[in-house]
Amino acid sequence: MTDQTSFIAVRLDELLRERGMTLTELSDRIGLTLANLSILKTGKAKAIRFSTLEAICRELRCQPGDLLIYSETGGIDQ
Amino acid sequence: MYVFILAGLRFFRWVNWIVAALLTLFFVVLLTDAGGLGTSVLAGVEGDLAVRAQVRGYLLGVTGLVLPMALAIDRILTRLAGLVHDARTGTALSEANADRLRTIGWCLLAINLADLVYGWLSVRASAATGEYFGWSLSLTGWVAVPLLFVLAHVFREGAAMRDDLEGTV
C-alpha cells in the first residue's frame, strides 16, 4: 500500500495525561489490547470502531471530538 | 497437504526443464539431419524438396517454441509455489499474490498464443505432407486467462480490505 498522510490527529496521550491514567490501565478497562491502543495513540490506525470510540469516551469521560481532531498542520504519516 | 503440493510443484519444475531439453535435443537432431532420415520420417521417404522444406520450417518453428513455453511454464510453477506457500501461512490475500496471479495469466496467454502458432505450423505441415501432425484448438486455456486476471483483481481488492482491517482498532 502507498503511504498516506492523515490529517486526523489522535489526542489520546493528552487525555490520558489529563486524567492521570496509563495506557495499560485504559487497555484493561476497555478490553482492547495494548498493541492496538498503541497503534491508535501513535496515529498509525487507519480506522476506529464505534465500539472502541464509545469505550474510550466512557472511560476517559470525554467526547469523540476531544479524542479526534482535524489538523492540516499536524498531519500524521501512516 | 501444502508440503506435498510444494514438493509436487518443485518436481514439475524439474520435469518441465528436462522435457524442454529433451525436446530441443530431439528437434535439433532432426534439423541437423534435414534431408536425411529425420525429415524422411516426417515428410515421407518419397517427399520432394518442397515438402522437406515445409517440414524443416515446421521443425524450426517448433524448436523455437520450446524454450519460451518452458520459461512460461516455469514462471507459472514458481508463482503457483509462492501462492501455495502464502496460503499455508494464512497470508494469501496480498498484493504480491495478486501480482503472481496476473503473471500466471500473462504466461498462460503466452502459452495459448504459442499453441496457436504451433497449430498454424502443424496445419501447414499436415497440408504439405498429407501426414497428421496433431493439433486441436483448446478453449480451456483461453477461458482461464480472463479468469486469472479477474482473480488477480479480486485478490488486490481483498488485500486492500485486509490492510484496512489490520489498521482498524
Q: Which residues of A touch B167 (CB under 8 A)?
A: 39, 44-47, 78
Sign of CA pseudo-dihedral B32, B34, B35, B39 = positive
CA B137, B146, B105: angle at the middle one, nearest 5? 85
What pLDDT does residue B166 have?
A: 84
Task: For residues B156-160, give the mean pLDDT.
Answer: 93
Kindly determine whether residue B168 and residue A45, on different chains, have CB atoms separated by under 8 Å.
yes
Averaged pLDDT in 10-residue chunks for chain A of 78 residues: 71 94 95 93 91 96 94 60
Least CB-CB distance to B169: which of A1, A48, A78? A48
**How distant is the Cα of B150 from the closest Cα of chain A, in angstroms?**
20
Choosing among A1, A30, A40, which should be mutated to test the B contact, i.e. which has the most B CBs within 10 A? A1
What pLDDT does residue A1 have?
A: 44
Run of H or E including A68: strand A68-70
**How distant is the Cα of A12 from the closest Cα of chain B, in angstroms?**
13
Q: Is ipTM over 0.90? A: no
Q: Which residues of B touch A45 (CB under 8 A)?
A: 167-169
pLDDT in tens, B22-56: 999 988 888 776 555 555 555 554 557 777 778 88
What pLDDT does residue B74 have?
A: 97
What pLDDT does residue B47 have?
A: 56
Which residue do the cell numbers 520450417 mark?
B57
Q: Which residue of B has its CA nearest to A33?
A: B169
Q: Which residues of B touch A46 (CB under 8 A)?
A: 163-164, 167-168
Cell of B30: 532432426
- Residue A54 in contact with residue B169, Cβ under 8 Å? no
Kindly determine whether residue B164 and residue A47, on different chains, have CB atoms separated by under 8 Å.
yes
Fold of domain A5-77: 434 Repressor (Amino-terminal Domain) (1.10.260)
- Residue B79 in contact with residue B103, Cβ under 8 Å? yes
Adjacent-strand bridge partners of A77? A5
What pLDDT does residue B36 have?
A: 55
**B124-144 as b/e: b if 16+ CB within 10 A:** ebbebbebebebeeeeeeeeb
> CB-based contact (8 Å) between B157 and chain A?
no
pLDDT in tens, B68-124: 999 999 999 999 999 999 999 988 999 999 999 999 999 999 999 999 999 999 988
Euclidean distance between CA atoms B5 and B1, whole angstroms: 6
